[in-house]
Amino acid sequence: MTVSPPPAAQGSVTNHSLQVVAAHERVFAWHNHAALWFSLGVGLLVLQMGALIAPALGFTGALWVIAGGSLLGAALLAWVAHIGATHGLASAGLMHAVMGRRFAQLPVLLNIVQLLGWGAFELVVMREATVAIVSRLGWIGAGTSAALWATLAWGALLTLLMTLPMVRLVRQLIARVALPLVVLALLWISWQLLGQAHTQGWAALTATPGNGSMSRLSALDLVIAMPVSWLPLVADYARHGRSAKGAFWGTWAGFALANAWCYGLGVLIATLMPGTEMMAAVLLVQGGLLALALVLLDEVDNAYGDTYSAAMSAHSLLPRRSVRHWAVVVALACTVLAIVLQMHSLEPFLILLSSVFTPLFGVIVGSLAGRRDVAGLLSRAPAVNGGAVAIWLLGIGGYHALAQWAPHWGSALPAFALTLGLSALLRVVHQPAAARSMA
């Protein structure tokens, strides 16, 4: 039997997205993972998501769900980080190893599409925050032209950052500059909001009832949605970790803290200032202008994360162009999309695509967790892994069935658990067969 070469070595072009990262290139310590994922976990969109939960569950109920959902969702993210760091493979490599070298091109392509959308969405959030700041300062031109120029300016900065080495950017710019600034901003906003809460009275605040428009499990699903949305990206960074243990704990701690903090602030804002638009609410607190500006700068990290991973995925499909080349192309495409598309119509499509990746990574974790030979599995991958594909499709169907007929149960966790369990079972069934064939 002839064994085909690993995808990373086929032809004369090196496919870095499907290649194992060499040991000397694995330089991220646990605190680098923690800094990266805390920074990626902070965002204005997360504050807005937190504000959606408060009216449904009330103040205390919302905080309990946020704490549990953040810990659980970040654990799923950290689990995939552990696998990526263990084997030095990017997300595209994990997809190829599990789904088959031909079929994996479909989820990789879908990942590129969703990351283009999320990258554009981040630029829109940054544009709206910039316009809000400019309007608050009373500068001339805080209108349509200001929105256009703000989009172009942030798009240009994103494109420039994509020309820099990712590892250096994470270890130096994010860990040493962006992280301290955004922590100071969150601390200041928290201090101001807690002061308002103390003035209004904690007893009245904690007694705020929910209206019951959302069940606890549905709210838990909403909290988990943020860490789950990063599942297709985490291995692209974790593969550079010095140890799988450091990647796991750094990713888990960094993202869980950021997710819980920002969702919690959203709940506090919605309870203290009901009906107030999120950016306007941040601007209303003392020193809110500076705090919003610092959080806005941190949004660049989110756009960078989307763009870099989209470039990794594109390189895995067309490796003749370098990752850096694809990164610049993706950054420019995100800028154009942010200008021409209506983000309110794009958001449901992005959520639909996210529902595809929750069951997919259940399949990946169930198939690869604890394995030692994933690089070898990648080199031996068939064109299509029929069992994994069937479980993935079943998970997608289960996700949308629950969303349609049992929304109070949530969708993300059940779909992930279903595909995780079935994939682990399929793996157990196949292992004895493989052992018999080698005997």
Q: Does position 130 have pLDDT exceeding 80, yes or no?
A: yes
Residue 293 banded pLDDT, cuts 50, 70, 90: confident
What pLDDT is attached to residue 323? 94
Distance CA 83, CA 97 (A): 12
Q: Look at 26-35, 110-119, 298-307, 334-343 and tell me which has the smallest mean pLDDT.
A: 334-343
Q: Does position 104 have pLDDT exceeding 90, yes or no?
A: yes
- Over residues 200-240, the pLDDT tens digits come to 888 888 888 888 888 898 889 889 988 988 999 999 999 99
What pLDDT is attached to residue 344? 64
CA distances from 146 to 130, 143, 149, 207, 239 (A): 9, 5, 5, 43, 40
Task: Give DSSP secondary structure letters for 300-345.
Answer: HHHHHHHHHHHHHHHHHH-TTS-HHHHHHHHHHHHHHHHHHS-HHH
Residue closest to 125 by CA, chosen among 386, 346, 284: 346
CA distances from 358 to 145, 260, 396, 417 (A): 39, 20, 8, 10
Structure tokens at 396: 């997608």
Q: Does position 72 have pLDDT exceeding 90, yes or no?
A: yes
3-state SS, residue 241: strand
What pLDDT is attached to residue 437? 43
Residue 407, phi-psi category: left (phi > 0), alpha (psi -120 to 50), beta (remainder) = alpha
Kindly report the pTM of this predicted structure. Answer: 0.91
What pLDDT is attached to residue 428? 87
Question: What is the CB neighbour count within 10 angstroms for residue 99?
Answer: 26
Distance CA 362, CA 419 (A): 5
- Over residues 13-53, the pLDDT tens digits come to 789 899 999 988 999 999 999 999 999 999 888 888 888 89
Residues in the chain, overall count: 439
CA distances from 92 to 7, 112, 125, 181, 243 (A): 11, 11, 28, 33, 20
Residue 364 banded pLDDT, cuts 50, 70, 90: very high
Residue 8 banded pLDDT, cuts 50, 70, 90: low
What pLDDT is attached to residue 328? 97
Question: Vertex 76, ends 102 and 229: CA angle to 5°?
Answer: 65
> CATH 1.10.4160.10: does it fit domain 28-438?
yes
Q: Does position 342 have pLDDT exceeding 80, yes or no?
A: no
